[in-house]
Amino acid sequence: LIGEVSDELGMESYVIGGYVRDFFLKRETPTDIDIVGIGSGIQLAKKVAEKLKGKPDVSVFKNFGTAMIKYQGMELEFVGARKESYQRDSRKPIVEDGTLEDDQNRRDFTINAMALALNKVNFGQLLDPFGGLADLDQKIIRTPLEPGITYSDDPLRMMRAVRFASQLNFTIELESLRAITENKGRIKIVSKERIVDELHKILMSQVPSVGLKLLHQTELLPIILPELTALQGIEEIEGQRHKDNFWHTLEVVDNISRTTDNLWLRWAALLHDIGKAPTKKFHKKIGWTFHAHEFVGAKMVYKLFKRLRMPLNDKMKFVQKMVLMSSRPIILSEDHVTDSAVRRLVFDAGDHVEDLMTLCEADITTKNPKKQKRYKN
């Protein structure tokens, strides 16, 4: 139908972006469909809506030159092909009308720049100027233009690159990785909300450590979540070492992710040890200790949520509680946290109790048989 309407308007139109990518990946067909018209996307949307059953409303975003139709559970987003240029201090581009090529040039990754033609004459033809299909095949994230320009223009793309790599289990090409590291400081012009959106998506991917390792490798992690980077490293005093709590955390996150799709439990797993960096001490008699790190960690959760402008609501409290619980055996041995308090925490976790227990179990990675026995009890 969109093709027919485009023909009537004498306009070319294409499906572009995520829909095309996921179609070739045979992923679940996305409900968000991006359509680009060479001309007015708003006019195209209005004409399409008139012809659809029930004549759905068109939401027009004049400032962005886009229009959206919600229809049968789908969101059809229409935009006129455009050319973008950027100013140094803003993610907001200066926009002018453009050709399909211009529109493909402004896309973030080759795999997101593919377009399928909708007009009758070339219906279904794939327009793939940057080899997106081959990159899908080789599982690689690559930018259409020079990576330095792509990431500097819109630094959110750095997070998107990591997120797609994590969601699709792709690798980011070397030049892109370098460009991200070089431009890491520009992440500061991206709103906290957008960063958190991408973090959520990384955490919700099948193996979140893929994305977390990339954030670490590109040096974005110390800017976004310095509390985690602080966990890295093993110190040795008098022949006594402690485990590397950063790499341990990644293992715990992957473990939890095998058993639960709950985003907040995954956050809790990610943050369960953050109190360990500031509480680390070496005692001549006992060795390494992280005394009361759960309590310090829970406070840090609050600060971290606040800094990232995440809502300080019941979800935050849930994560805090999980962090408090994260070393169940240690907590139980603290005088001021009684058994019933722990039971209350578990009760508050509601439907997630089993996952919660898995979280606690997953934390028990000691090879010391004595400790293992104590932990089991």
- Which residues contribute to the site for ligand ATP (CB under 6 A)? 17-18, 30, 32, 34, 107-108, 112, 154, 156-157
In sequence order, the β-bridge partners of residue 33 are 76
Distance CA 341, CA 326 (A): 14
Residue nearest to ligand ATP (CB): 18
Nearer of residues 130 and 267 to ligand ATP, judged by Cβ: 130
Our CB check for ligand ATP shows the closer of 135 and 154 to be 154
Q: Which residues pair with 236 in a beta bridge?
A: 241
Helix (H) or strand (E) holding 66: strand 66-71
Tell me the closest approach of the beta carbon of residue 96 to ligand ATP, in angstroms: 16
Instruction: Output the smallest distance, CB 333 to ligand ATP, in A.
Output: 45
- Cα–Cα distance for residue pair 164/315, rounded to 1 Å: 25
Say if CB 43 and CB 55 are below 8 A apart.
no
- Which of 136, 345 has the CB closer to ligand ATP? 136
| 293 CB-near residues (< 8 Å, 6+ apart) | 273, 275, 276, 278, 279, 327
Q: What's the rounded Cα separation, in Å, for the pair 287 and 296?
A: 20
**What's 30's DSSP letter?**
P
233 contacts: CB under 8 Å, gap ≥ 6: 244, 246
Question: Which of 249, 219, 255 is closest to 355 using CA atoms?
Answer: 255
176 vs 358 by CB, closer to ligand ATP:
176
Cβ atoms of residues 322 and 274 within 8 Å: no
Nearer to ligand ATP, 41 or 275 (CB): 41
Residue 127: name the closest of 259, 287, 242, 13 by CA: 13
Nearer to ligand ATP, 93 or 287 (CB): 93
- Residue 201 beta carbon to ligand ATP: minimum distance, rounded to whole angstroms: 7
Tokens of 268: 């809790």
Between 169 and 333, whose beta carbon lies closer to ligand ATP? Answer: 169
Give min distance, CB of 59 to ligand ATP, in A: 16
Nearer of residues 90 and 240 to ligand ATP, judged by Cβ = 90
Least distance in angstroms from the C-beta of 53 to ligand ATP: 25
Query: How many CA atoms are closer than 13 Å to the CA of 150, on its beta-carbon side?
Result: 25
Nearest approach, Cβ of residue 209 and ligand ATP (Å): 20
Q: Which tokens hold the place of 285?
A: 């008699």
Q: How far is the CB of 107 from ligand ATP (least distance, A)?
A: 4
CB atoms within 10 A of CB 78: 28
The distance of closest approach from Cβ of residue 256 to ligand ATP in the complex, given in angstroms and rounded to an integer, is 22
